[in-house]
Structure 1
Amino acid sequence: MRHASKERLVAKIPADVEMPDKLFANLTVRQVAILAGTGVLAAWVYLMAGDRLPVPVLAAIVLPVIACGCALALGRRDGLSLDRLVLHAFAYLRRDRKLVTTEEGVLPPPAWCRVRGRLPGALRLPVRAIREDGVMELAEGGTVAVVRAGTVAFGLRTGEEQAALVGVFAGWLNSLDAPVQILLQARPVDLSVLANVIEGSAGRLADPALEQAARQHAEFLSELSTTRDLLTRDVLVVVRHQDAEQPPGWTRRSRRTARRDSSAAIVARRAEETVRSLLGLGVHASVVGAEDARDLLVRSLSPRRPEPVGIARPDEPIARGDEKQ
Structure 2
Amino acid sequence: MAKKEMQSNMSGSKPTASTQQYLDIAEIKQGTIVMRDGSLRAVLVVSSTNFSLKSADEQNALISAYQSFLNALEFPIQILLQSRKLDINSYLDRLRAIQQQQTNELLRMQTQEYIEYIGKLIEFASIMNKTFYVIVPLSSGAAKQGFLSGLSNLFNPATQISGKDKEFDRAREDLYKRVSQVSLSLGSMGLKTLLLTTEELLELMYNSYNLNTATPIKIKNIEDLDLAK
> TM-score by structure 2 length?
0.70
- The partner residue of 1:189 within 61, 86, 90 is 86
Determine which structure has more spread, i.e. the larger CA radius of gyration.
1
- Find the aligned partners of 2:71 and 2:185 in 1 and give their Cα distance: 12
1:259 Cα deviation from its structure 2 partner: 3.6
The question of 1:217 aligning with 2:123 is answered no
Q: 2: CA distance between counterparts of 1:226 and 1:254? A: 49
Q: Is the contact made by 1:148 and 1:235 (CA closer than 8 Å) also made in structure 2?
A: yes
Q: CA deviation at 1:181?
A: 0.6
Aligned to 1:152, which of 49, 63, 85?
49
**2:178 maps to which residue?**
270
Structure 2: distance between partners of 1:206 and 1:164: 49
Aligned-partner residue type, residue 115 of structure 1: S
Q: Secondary structure at the match of 2:11?
A: coil
Are 2:17 and 1:121 aligned? yes
Structure 2 distance, partners of 1:239, 1:221, is: 37
Identify the residue that residue 29 of structure 2 maps to in structure 1. 131
Is it true that 1:283 corresponds to 2:191 in the alignment? yes
Letter in 2 for 1:260: F
Q: Give the match's secondary structure for 1:177.
A: coil
Counterpart secondary structure, 1:185: strand
Unpaired segments of 5 or more residues in structure 2?
1-8, 154-158, 216-229
Match of 1:295 in 2: 203
Which structure shows the bigger proportion of residues in helix conformation?
A: 2
Distance 1:138 1:254 in 2: 11
Which of 1 and 2 has higher RCO (CA within 8 Å, sep 6+)?
2
Matched residue SS, 1:147: strand
Distance 2:53 2:121 in 1: 30
Q: Aligned partners of 2:79, 2:62: CA distance in 1, in Å?
A: 17
Residue number among 35, 56, 59 corresponding to 1:162 in the alignment = 59
Structure 1: segments with no counterpart, 5+ residues: 1-112, 308-325
| Whole-Å separation in 2 of the counterparts to 1:189 and 1:156 | 23
The question of whether the paired residues in 1 share the 8 Å contact of 2:37 and 2:140 is answered with no
Superposition TM-score, scaled by structure 1 size: 0.51
- After superposition, the C-alpha distances for 1:55-108 in whole angstroms (9 at most, x for unaligned) are xxxxxxxxxxxxxxxxxxxxxxxxxxxxxxxxxxxxxxxxxxxxxxxxxxxxxx
Query: What is the percentage of aligned positions where both structures have the same residue?
Result: 19
- Kindly tell me the number of residue pairs found equivalent between the two proteins: 192
Q: Is the aligned partner of 1:143 residue 2:40?
A: yes
